[in-house]
Chains A and B, each alone.
Chain A
Amino acid sequence: MRINQIQDEIIEEFGAFDAWMDKYEYIIELGKKLPLIDPAHKVDGNLIRGCQSRVWLRAELNDGALRFTADSDAVITKGIIALLVRVLAGQKPEEVASANLYFIDAIGLREHLSSTRANGLVSMVAELKRIGGEYSGARH
């Protein structure tokens, strides 16, 4: 599926909930489906800077598509990274680098996060896009 198709799918899923507590419940559920990073790669070099909780992220290029594994010690954060990974995994590096992640605002995620968490979200998005840019640069 293309990036925007997945984003629209997520927006639809979140549209089914009225209360934000239910959305949080769903985010926590999604976190459980996150492709987990190999514990051997849970090293400081794979930590994303700027998050209140610890977030590890690792990327690999397989047949021209990016795969991500990640983890966090906070389950809401884990759910948020799972959402981002769901949108961007399996996509070409240049598509990851240039993706417009409109679902974040559309589901109201940013406004519901504390400022420290919102900064963490910005850091996660920036890191995913940086990885996309790095791999597309390497191929050209």
Chain B
Amino acid sequence: MSFDVEAVRAQFPILHRRVNGGELVYLDNGASSQKPQRVIDEVARYYREFNSNIHRGVHHLSQQATEAYEHARETVRAHINAEHAREVLFTGGTTHGINLVASAWGRRHLSRGDEVLVTAMEHHSNIVPWQLICEERGAKLRVLPVNRAGELVMDELEKLLTARTRMVALAHVSNSLGTINPVARVIEMAHARGAAVLVDGAQAAPHLQLDVRELGADFYAFSGHKVFAPTGIGALYGKLELLEDMPPYQGGGEMIERVTFDKTTFADLPHKFEAGTPNIAGGIGLGAALHWFGELDADAVAAHEQDLLAYATGRLKEIERLSIIGTARDKACVISFVLEGAHPSDVGALLNQQGVAVRTGHHCTQPLMDFYGISGTVRASFALYNNRADADALAAGVARAAKMLA
């Protein structure tokens, strides 16, 4: 099998619309990806043909919806190579998944003086939930530093993993820099010290082949909307014994076995953590998206993205006064940069005017921006449907902006 980027582009209707007089050049995939026609159709089909509440219904539509939703869970399980479908919880997204673990796992496992280790490149979503639970439990948050290239300083990890480290929470791929972290190695070292590991897979899911068992991750969270699925849906993988041991996160319908005013017993996994009516259409859409993604030749997709990364990096480097932030050896197709003397929001505005969609600012990684001594960057984040013409449009747009802002 190989990868035909034009055939893939043809499946994304939004890529054919025009913005500010030109064809859309969408390079804000790190924020949210576009959706293929098949996902749009599957979500529409749910509403058109079998929309109804799941799990407790006795009627035909409810059974059909339940089947589709649970089928989607099985698709997620297979996609990430989890052992059991009940290890896969549907969430609202990565942020929700991390908060669930920080809160439910943290209440069970963190005590005064314990430590949670995050890295200096984490998204605020993988910092703040840990700060909150650490404060509540009297635990300490510690930080694994990064080097100027935007790589984790692995030599420091050995020192930072102490007898009190209970959890290591880190991104698989950095949203600001694109760095692919050596997660398997971190997990191995953390486990050797008896610490659990949560991986924030939000940026990895659209770029890497996920295998939670090979990684050995205790928890793995990702969002649907970044991996060609609808917004408001995501998945959290957790090892069975950890999830079974954790107290519920939110109370409500769906998550109970028996309720009396004296005592409530809780449902089995995964329902214990899925209070209330879930995002049924989103779950079905996520299943459809991962199914669609899984049909592609993953190695060919990776080769295409690495080619794009090298090509776009080369084109941007031709521009004077431009510095790339994040030059790790192992990178996903994300390029953050600054133009000397120009504010990122000005560059973003001028790119937008030329039909190129990027993101500017701190990318919810303020501690990382502080480390680099900058207020923000311009970030071009590619997806599998981007091509060299997109990289050319970006480079031409940035060159013109650089001239205007000089």
Contacts and interface: CB of A to CB of B under 8 A. Distances in A.
B404 A25 contact: yes
Interface of A: 20-21, 24-25, 28, 52-53, 73-77, 112-114, 116-117
Contacts of B211: none
Contacts of B348: 114
Q: Which has the most chain A C-beta neighbours within 10 Å: B348, B349, B361, B404?
A: B349
A25 B400 CA distance: 11
A28 B405 contact: yes
A32 B71 CA distance: 60
A117 B345 contact: yes
Nearest to B375: A73
A114 B361 contact: no
A23 B306 CA distance: 37
Contacts of A24: 349-350, 353, 404
B349 A76 contact: yes
Nearest to A20: B353
Interface in B329-383: 342-343, 345-346, 348-350, 352-354, 360-361, 375
A30 B345 CA distance: 18
**What range describes how many residues of B lie at the interface?**
10 to 19
Contacts of B352: 114
Contact of A52 (B342, B345, B353, B354): B345
B20 A74 contact: no
A74 B345 contact: yes
Q: Is the interface of A mostly helix, strand, loop or mixed?
A: helix
A19 to B, nearest CB: 8
B245 to A, nearest CB: 43
23 contacts: A20-B353, A21-B400, A21-B404, A24-B350, A24-B353, A25-B404, A28-B404, A28-B405, A52-B360, A52-B361, A53-B345, A53-B346, A73-B375, A75-B343, A76-B350, A77-B343, A77-B346, A113-B349, A114-B345, A114-B348, A114-B349, A116-B345, A117-B349
A20 B350 CA distance: 9
Contacts of B20: 20
Contact of B346 (A20, A25, A76): A76
B76 to A, nearest CB: 33
Contacts of A21: 350, 353-354, 400, 404
B353 A75 contact: no
- 8 smallest beta-carbon distances between A and B, as pairs: A74-B343, A76-B346, A74-B346, A52-B345, A74-B345, A20-B353, A53-B345, A53-B343
Given A74-B345, A74-B346, A75-B405, 5 more contacts: A21-B354, A28-B404, A53-B345, A75-B343, A77-B346
Contacts of B361: 52
B345 A76 contact: yes
A52 B342 CA distance: 14
Nearest to B342: A75
A75 B354 contact: no
A130 to B, nearest CB: 24
A125 B30 CA distance: 33
B16 to A, nearest CB: 22
A112 B353 contact: yes
B393 to A, nearest CB: 14
Contacts of B350: 21, 24, 76
Contacts of B405: 28, 75
B278 to A, nearest CB: 30
B307 to A, nearest CB: 30
Contacts of B354: 21
Nearest to B376: A52
